[in-house]
Amino acid sequence: MNNGAAWAGKWVNHYSTNSCYIIHSTLFIMHYRLTLTLLSLSATLYAQQPKPTRPVKEGEVDNQEITVEKSRKIELPPANRIFNKIPSVKPSAEQRKLTYEFEDRKLIIGDPKITPNVLAPTVGQADDTPAYSNYVKLGAGNYSSFLGEGFVGVNALSNLALEGSIRHLSSGLGPVDGKNSAQSDTRVRVTGKYLTDAFKLQADLGFDRNTYNFYGYSREYAALSTFNPDLIKQRLNTLNFKLGIENTNSDNAIDYSLRTGITTLSDRFNASETDWGTNFNASLGINDNVYALVAADAYVTQRTDGSIVDNRNLYRVKPTFKYASSRFTITAGINAVNQTDQRQGINETRAFPVIDIDVVPVGNIHIFAGVDGDINRNTLRSLLGENKWLAPQVLLANTVKSLDIYGGTKGKLGGGFSYEGKVSYARYRNFSTFNNSIPDTTKFFVLYDGAFQTC
């Protein structure tokens, strides 16, 4: 108890100069518990009073409050301005990649196959499809020229189509001596087609009439009194009839086409020619890549020119096999041909190899090469198609292509452009050409490079 009072007195003496409230409190301290309570109260009051500022002695470190503030400023370099902004991608339809393949058709005769589709008649609505389609053309030009053309087609019959056309083009005057170089061409065609799901039957009837003059005479000859314009006139009449049948069902294992026809030709000088030709083509798919092909032709021809009567025939059989894939195609076979000529005393049969290779190294580019041979027919009608100013009694002989080695490339360049280049080394016999006859230079004879030559 005494010790507590002494300790309290020391504590009171230490703070007696600081507060009057502490002095009065210490006078009544009589108990130890009371001393502790007052000590706690005096400490609280002392903390609430402002502390006196004591003068700082020399060499003494004063208590100071230091506040450190950290501030960081991030500076970025100026961004470059984009003047040409990237345009946004607009949604568009996906473009399809086109792939082109150059492959010969298995059958290349006749018209493209047409599979008729019979539609059920609509109820309560008239059919607007015209049963007739036709047109007429008329025209005129210099040299007193006239053009007239007409076409009519009938499609109202079930599975049967009929077509007819007529065309006339004439010039009353020509570039040499007016009427002496006039010409006229007239053509008439009638076609009938019968279509079913299994085959197509077609018949064609045609007539052509061509009139023209041999105006290649000299001016001195035309000035003579003996010149007769009627002697330089020529007229060709051609009548042809053809009948054909071919497969139209793509599901058939065998594809075929058979056509036969007869053509008669006559001119103003009593020359005539009758030609009967038959052509057969067929193909058989052995598997997805291998095909068996066969082509057969038969021609029976009789040519009459004055006192000359000549029977000329030709028969051809060409069996081949074809392997086709996306990158490689090869065709191999043989071409056997027999020709007869009564006037020339010819009866021979020849066989020619047939090899064709087609490689697709990249894209739509094709590289091809091959070897073949054949006998090409020369008839009075075919030679008149090349040069209509032929003289009477020209010699007819077929051209023999004994060997033809060829190679080249073809393909699609895009944008609708395509190309094809080919080089060939060939040997011919009886290659035909034309030359003016002597002394009449208005007409032409046929010259052959080989066994036959005439002037």
- Say what the pLDDT of residue 228 is: 84
In a domain, 329, yes or no: yes
pLDDT at residue number 380: 96
pLDDT above 90 coverage of the chain, percent: 56
pLDDT tier, 408 (very low <50, low <70, confident <90, very high otherwise): very high
**Tokens coding 314:** 């030709």
Per the CB < 8 A criterion, the answer to whether 109 and 257 are in contact is yes
Which range of 50-64, 74-88, 237-251 scores highest in mean pLDDT? It is 237-251
What pLDDT score does 132 carry? 65
Residue 10 lies inside a defined structural domain of this protein:
yes
pLDDT tops 90 at residue 133: no
Which residue in this structure is represented by tokens 């058989």? Answer: 284
What's the rounded Cα separation, in Å, for the pair 302 and 308?
Answer: 10
The answer to whether residues 40 and 34 touch, using CB atoms and an 8 Å cutoff, is no
The whole-number pLDDT of residue 186 equals: 98
Task: Count the alpha carbons within 13 Å of 201 in the hemisphere toward its beta carbon.
Answer: 4
Residue 105 has pLDDT above 70, yes or no: no
**Measured distance CA(326)–CA(374) in Å, rounded:** 29
In whole angstroms, give the CA distance from residue 166 to residue 145.
Answer: 17
CA distance readout (Å), 224 to 117, 119, 194, 302, 321: 68, 72, 59, 39, 65
| 172 in a structural domain | no
The string of pLDDT tens digits covering residues 411-443 is 998 888 999 999 999 999 999 999 987 777 889
Mean pLDDT of the chain: 80
* Pairwise CA distance, residues 148 & 137, whole Å: 6
Residue 82 CA from chain centroid, whole number = 45
18's tokens: 């600081």
Cα 326 versus chain centre, distance: 16
Indicate the pLDDT class of residue 65, thresholds 50, 70 and 90. Answer: low
Mean pLDDT value of segment 98-103: 44
In a domain, 280, yes or no: yes
- Tell me the per-residue pLDDT of 326-367, one tens digit each, with 9 for 90 and over: 999 999 999 999 999 999 999 999 999 999 999 999 988 999
**Side-chain half-sphere exposure of 389, counting CA atoms within 13 A:** 17
In a domain, 355, yes or no: yes
Q: What is the pLDDT of residue 273?
A: 97
Q: Which of the residue ranges 216-225, 375-384, 403-412 would you say has the lowest mean pLDDT?
A: 216-225
Percentages helix, strand, coil for the chain, rounded to the nearest 5? 10, 50, 40
In this prediction, residue 291 carries a pLDDT of 95
Q: Is residue 386 part of a domain?
A: yes
Residue type, 51: K
Q: What is the DSSP letter of 108?
A: -
Q: Is the pLDDT of residue 4 over 50?
A: no
Judged against a pLDDT cut of 70, whether residue 325 lies above it is answered with yes
The mean-pLDDT minimum among 84-93, 163-172, 263-272 falls in 84-93
Other residues' Cβ atoms within 10 Å of the Cβ of residue 40: 9
Mean pLDDT is highest, among 60-74, 91-105, 115-129, 215-229, for: 215-229
Q: How confident is the model at residue 103 (pLDDT cuts 50, 70, 90)?
A: very low
Which stretch, 70-79, 398-407, 445-454, has highest mean pLDDT? 398-407
Domain membership of residue 318 (yes or no) is: yes
CA–CA gap between residue 237 and residue 272 (Å, rounded) = 9
pLDDT single digits (tens) 151-181: 999 887 889 999 999 999 999 999 888 899 9
> Which SS3 state, helix, strand or coil, does residue 48 take?
helix
- What was the pLDDT predicted at 57? 54
Q: Which domain holds residue 7?
A: 2-42
Give me the number of domains the chain comprises. 2
Q: In terms of pLDDT, which residue wins out, 321 or 77? A: 321
Q: What is the model's pLDDT at position 328? A: 94
Q: Tell me the C-alpha distance between 440 and 434, whole Å.
A: 14
Residue 302, domain member (yes or no): yes
Distance CA 196, CA 252 (A): 14
Q: Average pLDDT, stretch 243-253?
A: 91
Which of 42, 58, 73 represents a domain boundary (last residue)? 42
Residue 47 has pLDDT above 60, yes or no: no
| Per-residue model confidence (pLDDT) at position 176 | 87
In the predicted model, is pLDDT for residue 100 greater than 80? Answer: no
Give the model's pLDDT for residue 165: 97
Say what the pLDDT of residue 78 is.
63
Residue type, 295: A
